Amino acid sequence: MATLRELRTRVASITNIQRVTNAMQMVAAAKMRRAQAAILAARPYAQRLDQVLKALHQSVDAYDQPLFAVRPVQRVVLVVITSDRGLCGAFNTNLCRRVQDELDEYLDAQPELITIGNKGWDFFSHRGYSISRHHADVFNQLELVRAADIAQDLTSRFVAGQTDRVLLCYSEYGSVTSQVPTVRQLLPIAPEEEAGESAKYAFEPSPEVLLGTLVERQINFQVWRALLESNVGFFAAQMMAMDNATKNARDMIEDLTREMNKERQASITLELMDIIGGANAVAQ
């Protein structure tokens, strides 16, 4: 059984840890609110851009565009977006395991990994996977320019025939308690056909010119949206993990305090028995 001094030391140590986890929870909550505002603002634009692209896709022969070219999948690139830091529960692990399942499906297609975030690089490099490119420190200063650079590199690979399919793998933010591992096809672009008769649009300039402009913007924004989704999901997962850690620390402190009180009571009882025994001996 631990001594009274050891119990006091453990209570003090866990109290310090509780202060740290509580502070990390508040910091993650503040950053999550800003990241949440960013992704909620980006989603309507992405939806509207998809609608315009669908209309253009139905108005012209879009398959003349190189980014719409559907080829037999002999080489595939998976872009894995994880966080740079941990202390976020199973946020990164769930996504990496989802990517592992996807890799198993593309064993015959020479799968190639590109990682964004240190945790994805750590996970796959330590398991013997070959990573062709790693983008570090993307989330330290998250900017659209960085997403455009990544998208341009992926586009160049696809147009040059170095890959036949590009998949974005990230955690889609649903709510504070829900971050869903998601795999979406980035290239080739394959807009879903709308059901029923489509509306007729008049485009100015021509649909071909608009398509050439919007396709590049669509690719850039899809990468940017995936980064935003992953960013807000990380802060939400970290906030929940630190909240659970703070509660667990509080429970441990309560248990140790009860044990410490029992130990103190037992010590006082022994001292009283010694005093009473000594008094009886003197009286006799």
Q: Where are the domains of the chain?
A: 21-241
Q: What angle do CA 84, 128, 119 make, to 5 degrees?
A: 10
Amino acid symbol at 37:
A
* Contact criterion met (CB below 8 Å) for 230 and 81: yes
pLDDT value of residue 195 = 42
**Greatest distance between any 2 Cα atoms in the chain:** 116
What is the per-residue pLDDT across 94-128, written as a single tens digit (0 to 9) for each? 999 999 999 988 888 889 999 999 999 999 999 88
Which of 144, 136, 25 shows the shortest CA–CA distance to 81? 136
Can you give the pTM of this predicted structure?
0.84
Tell me the pairing of strands 111-116 and 76-81. Answer: parallel
- DSSP reduced 3-state for 172: strand
What is the per-residue pLDDT across 30-86, written as a single tens digit (0 to 9) for each? 999 999 999 888 888 888 887 777 777 666 665 667 888 888 889 999 999 999 998
pLDDT value of residue 158 = 92
- CA distances from residue 110 to 22, 106, 122, 168 in whole angstroms, order as listed: 45, 7, 21, 16
pLDDT value of residue 201 = 61
Kindly state the percentage of the chain with pLDDT values over 90. Answer: 51
Q: Which tokens in the block code for residue 120? A: 């994805």
CATH number listed for the domain at residues 21-241 = 3.40.1380.10
pLDDT confidence bin for 7, thresholds 50/70/90: confident
- pLDDT above 90 for 4: no
Dihedral sign for Cα 9, 10, 11, 16, please: positive
Question: Which residues face 79 on adjacent strands?
Answer: 114, 168
Residues 6+ apart with CB under 8 A from 83: 91, 92, 117, 118, 119, 139, 230, 234
Residue 196, Cα to own-chain centre: how many angstroms? 37
Please state, rounded to an integer, the average pLDDT across all residues of the chain: 86
pLDDT confidence bin for 169, thresholds 50/70/90: very high
User: How far, in Å, CA of 124 to CA of 109, rounded?
Assistant: 18
